Amino acid sequence: MTVQREIDFRDALREAMSEEMRRDKRVFLMGEEVAEYNGAYKVSRGMLEEFGPQRVIDTPISESGFAGLCIGAAMTGLRPVVEFMSWSFSLVAADPILNNAPKMLYMSGGQFGCPIVFRGNDGAGGQLGSTHSWCVEALYANVPGLKMAIPSDPYDAKGLLKTAIRDDNPVFFLESERLLSVKGPVPEAEYTIPFGQALVRRRGTDATIVSFGRPVHFCLEAAEELAKEGIDCEVIDGRTIRPLDIDTIVESVRRTSRCVVVDQSWPFASIGSEIAAQVHQRCFDDLDNHVHRVHTDDVPTPYAWELEQAYLPNARKICEAVRSVTYRQ
């Protein structure tokens, strides 16, 4: 019997980058502490030794500067991977990454593309405070011209990142610090995962739960708890926000007639809001209840551990939401 290997989420990310750098000499990694320190979260461990300082490049604490530099490199034929130590820090690079990279192909009349990946930790990492705990997906996904992926396990982390590096468009790749040590099966053989292809993590008949990234694990936990009450939930991992695989979500909701969307960002003008709107538009006659959304609370991220846990989406909140749409309290 073949035993499938299991590796950490962070190791899956490193394998994806290393394999693509071996495959394509135009690919390089740049960011704070990615080289000499092996990455702030050890994602790039050993890459400096293999690829050298011209392809694994440490930077000053200047996100706007190195993001802009890499956009220029992408426009002239290279394929940079930019690591933000935290997506919270990307806010100081908002002009180059939002006002330049996604618009370059359009504004140049097709003369200059921007094949670049921006990646790093998104969301609350554990008592990092309000300014270091941003979930940027709703803020950034609003901009046309970019793609966005949010993996929830090591298999997807590797497959989606390899796809991102090969893509000719700017890709925003959002990881969770809380998932970096999570282990999961990852094949040694070559594979990629297409963007815009959601995955049904659990089949069910009574309600559809849609999420992406770390909250997918909370959804699966909630589904197991609800199964004890006789509520059979289908759990869909969206994988990518742009493009969004709304067809898989709609097909599921038309069967279950109920939908809960779980989103780790704030509720107002969120990805959860967009998914709910599209489901209502396409499944109006199929729904037995409104689409219920579960988000972080609409307040700045608390520092205190207990408050932070209460603020985030969790299995208890998801169970309450599913019970509310299935009329089982």
Each residue of 21-78: pLDDT tens digit? 999 999 999 999 999 999 999 999 999 999 999 999 999 999 999 999 999 999 999 9
pLDDT (0 to 100) of residue 129: 87
Each residue of 239-269: pLDDT tens digit? 999 999 999 999 999 999 999 999 999 999 9
Catalytic residue among 19, 132, 280, 320: 132
Catalytic residue among 32, 63, 83, 177: 63
Distance (Å) of CA 266 to CA 69, 114, 123, 294, 313: 31, 30, 11, 9, 10
Q: 197 and 243 in contact (C-beta within 8 Å)? A: no
Tell the residue number behind the tokens 């468009």, with chain if given: 169
Q: Strand runs (DSSP E) across the chain, as ranges?
A: 6-8, 27-31, 56-58, 79-84, 117-121, 147-149, 171-175, 183-185, 199-202, 207-211, 233-237, 240-242, 259-262, 292-294
Q: Is 234 known to be catalytic?
A: no
Q: 212 and 244 in contact (C-beta within 8 Å)? A: no
CATH code of domain 7-185: 3.40.50.970
Please compute Rg for the chain using Cα positions.
Answer: 20
pLDDT (0 to 100) of residue 2: 52
| 53: exposed, middle or buried (Cβ count in 10 Å: 0-12, 13-18, 19+) | exposed
| 238: exposed, middle or buried (Cβ count in 10 Å: 0-12, 13-18, 19+) | buried
Would you list the domain boundaries of the chain? 7-185, 199-324
Q: Is 292 known to be catalytic?
A: no
Name which of 113, 128, 96 is nearest 166 in CA terms: 113
What are the mean pLDDT values of the chain's consecutive 10-residue runs (329 residues total)? 80 98 98 96 97 98 97 97 96 96 95 96 87 94 97 98 98 96 96 98 98 97 97 98 98 98 96 98 96 96 92 96 84
Tell me whether domains 7-185 and 199-324 share a fold. Answer: yes
pLDDT (0 to 100) of residue 166: 98
Tell the residue number behind the tokens 């941003």, with chain if given: 134
Tokens of 289: 């209840």
Look at the domain 199-324 and name its fold: Rossmann fold (3.40.50)
pLDDT (0 to 100) of residue 301: 93
pLDDT (0 to 100) of residue 1: 40
pLDDT (0 to 100) of residue 263: 97
pLDDT (0 to 100) of residue 329: 47
